[in-house]
Amino acid sequence: MIPEFGFGIAILSFLVAIYSIVAAIYGATKKSPSMVESARRGMLLTFPLLTLSAAVLIYLLVNNHFEVAFVYDVTSRSMPTYLKVTAWWGGQAGSLLFWSWLLSAFASAVTLRKWDRDVEFLPWVVVICSVTLVFFLGMVVFYENPFTRYWLVNGNVEPHMFQPALATLFTPGDGNGLNPLLRHPGMIIHPPMLYLGFVSYVIPYAFAMAALITGRTDDRWIRLTRRWSLWAWLFLSAGLVLGGRWAYDVLGWGGYWGWDPVEIAAFMPWLTGTAFLHSVMIQEKRGLLKHWNMVLVIMTYELVIFGTFLTRSGVLSSVHAFANSPIGPLFMGYVSATLIGSIALVIYRWPTLRGETEMKSMLSREALFLLNNLLFISVLVICFVGVIFPLVSELLTGQKVTVGPPFYERATAPIFASLMFLMGVAPLSAWGNSTVKTLGRAMWKSAVLAGIVTVALFFTFTRNYIALAGFFLVALVLSVTLQEFWRGVRARQRAQNESFFTSLVRLMGRNRRRYGGYIIHISMMLMAIGILGIELFQTETQGTLAAGESTKIAEYNLVFKDVASWDNNDLEVNFTRATIQVYKGDQYIIDLHPRKDMYFSGQPMSIPGVYSNLQDDLYILLVDWQPISSTAATFKIFVNPLVNWLWLGSVLFLLGIIFTAWPDRDPAEETSRRSVTRNANQPSAAD
């Protein structure tokens, strides 16, 4: 009865979400606050209901209920408990329930805020969130039920939710187990982070649609969703970074990003979300780009659903797409319907979305931000064309033609270089009006410093003109950004007579958005160093070594010592591990142990041996070996220069987003605190 209970709760959640839609629409059109409140409470109820349903599924996963088809597919007795829990999002049906649970949590959280100033938004926010929830719960209830069980029907094992006539329950002795690639620690966190990012973007979209429906098209909806947009961007960014680290550690291609279709599916809403974060500042400061912001938030929402569709439908070949089913047409139908409806609303409200001012200078900050957005959209177009081209070619010619990394790299490299240049110019431009003369006066010192750095690199590191151009842009942006910090701190020191550190902390704390953005720019330049290093200077070799034989790559001498193989019956895996001694010249550095894990199910996984420092990574893969004599083995070896700057920059990038998104102290509380502090410092009559 446990699976039936979990499924019944999912159905009840589905019905409650439908009720919320109906009640909210009725309450809004009939001006009935009681019905709107009822719809809000219905939305709140979905979270505890889906939490209960999810708890039932986790119970089934952890306790080896292999009669449940989903449990059989993603767990086994050899898996530790924490992996059984994370198997919740390791398969199709469970991941859709996970998506629904997250959405119910976020939608419930947003309905708990104070709505006094924005009560007209409430019913339509509930409607949009509930419509999205109904769609995903509909997938769970009608197509991808994680509570379906196996039944023995006329000698055949068949999956059904309820017992067929004359059937008996069938319980396998063990399950298939989670795909080994999903057992990496990064994959425990990577999918939830992506889903958190995807689901978070539903909230800004819901407020945008509420603004269009009610006709309240000022920037209030943007201010209400600013934090949601930032946290959504944080989660999505963290998901992309973790996915890159997972690929680097597990997939064995020697890199972090392969322009895989599912990677790109998560990258596309990140692009529009990034453009949205930049352009909303223009609407808040100058009252411009209202049409553009609406289009960006709609695109982000649709790309979130489209990304989920690509990941879950299996229509594209990908190392990341671990689940597939015939739900693709339903996703595409939903994307089409919501896109048409959203664009129709924008067209209907088009006159009310006109800008309050006009752009007067092509070098003003708002103009440069708009150019920044157009560049992000250019990258998006390239990615979208590359992703759907195999589908279009298969539809028209019957052959699926894949688009490889060279296409993306050649098409996007000039655009990313332009974006880097804008990071150096935009902070120096003024709102409203800027000229070539004023910008030149502001940035000439940074340009000279960047030129000096580039010349030094020319004589000491590389004469690759592409790399030198990239490092020049990195140095330019870092110099401009650090000078912005310096100017702000020095101005505050003169005004407040504070120490440098105190001024820096207080300056950043009082303008989190601006200086958090600068931290993000710095982090992206650190990441750019790593990207330039691995993309332009990576070296690789492959060969077979006998025991005691050595090979050389870059500055490293490698000596193959031995290879050992053994079974771990508890984990149901065979481990094969090689030992390689690493030298720089004649100096011994470390022993590395590249490994090949072969699960008894037949699924392999390569674990590289890696020696890391800020200069480079030595990255060794065990490709093949002699299983009997263990006297020879084949290795694939990479040297990835500067790649660790990518990971350091990624950590700073996420910290910068957290700093920017961190809620400010409530102004009323701050005033009260200062008053109390002043009173406490005043001398009393007794003194």
User: 298 with 342: CB under 8 angstroms?
Assistant: yes
Positive or negative: CA dihedral 411, 412, 416, 418: positive
Confidence of residue 327 (pLDDT cuts 50, 70, 90): confident
Residue 431 has pLDDT above 90, yes or no: no
Residue 96: other Cβ atoms inside 10 A? 25
User: 246 with 184: CB under 8 angstroms?
Assistant: yes
**What stretch of H or E contains 603?**
none
**What stretch of H or E contains 247?**
none
State the alpha helices, DSSP H only, in 398-464: 405-425, 436-460
User: 170 with 66: CB under 8 angstroms?
Assistant: no
For the stretch 454-498, pLDDT in tens is 999 999 999 999 999 999 999 999 999 999 999 999 999 888 888
Positive or negative: CA dihedral 371, 373, 374, 376: positive
User: 403 with 389: CB under 8 angstroms?
Assistant: yes
Q: Is 207 helix (H, G, I), strand (E, B) or coil?
A: helix
Q: Is 356 helix (H, G, I), strand (E, B) or coil?
A: coil
- 183 or 48, higher pLDDT: 48
- 356 or 193, higher pLDDT: 193
| Distance, CA of 271 to CA of 374 (rounded, Å) | 11
Provide the pLDDT for residue 467.
Answer: 95
For the stretch 118-140, pLDDT in tens is 899 999 999 999 999 999 999 99
Provide the pLDDT for residue 678.
Answer: 45
Assigned token pair, 216 = 């309240």
CATH of span 538-643 = 2.60.98
Q: Which residues on adjacent β-strands are paired with residue 559?
A: 550, 581
CA distances to 279, 282, 415 from 371, in Å: 10, 12, 11
| Distance, CA of 483 to CA of 445 (rounded, Å) | 10
| Distance, CA of 576 to CA of 635 (rounded, Å) | 13
Q: Where are the domains of the chain?
A: 1-178, 538-643
Assigned token pair, 399 = 């052959």
| Distance, CA of 492 to CA of 682 (rounded, Å) | 26
CA distances to 73, 89, 522 from 480, in Å: 53, 43, 10
Provide the pLDDT for residue 191.
Answer: 85
Residue 116 has pLDDT above 80, yes or no: yes
Confidence of residue 321 (pLDDT cuts 50, 70, 90): very low
Q: Is 364 helix (H, G, I), strand (E, B) or coil?
A: coil
Confidence of residue 665 (pLDDT cuts 50, 70, 90): low
Among 196-210, 383-397, 507-521, 569-583, where is mean pLDDT lowest?
383-397
Residue 8 has pLDDT above 60, yes or no: yes
Provide the pLDDT for residue 303.
Answer: 94
For every residue of 42-81, DSSP letters joined together read HHHHHHHHHHHHHHHHHHHHHTT-TTBHHHHHH--TTS-H
- 235 or 359, higher pLDDT: 235
Q: What is the pTM of this model?
A: 0.90
DSSP state of 665: P
Q: Which residues on adjacent β-strands are paired with residue 606?
A: 596
Residue 24 has pLDDT above 70, yes or no: yes
| Distance, CA of 475 to CA of 472 (rounded, Å) | 5
Residue 315 has pLDDT above 60, yes or no: no
| Distance, CA of 269 to CA of 506 (rounded, Å) | 34
For the stretch 612-632, pLDDT in tens is 999 999 999 999 887 655 678
Give percent of the chain above pLDDT 90.
60
Backbone angles phi, psi at 118, to 5 degrees: -135, 35
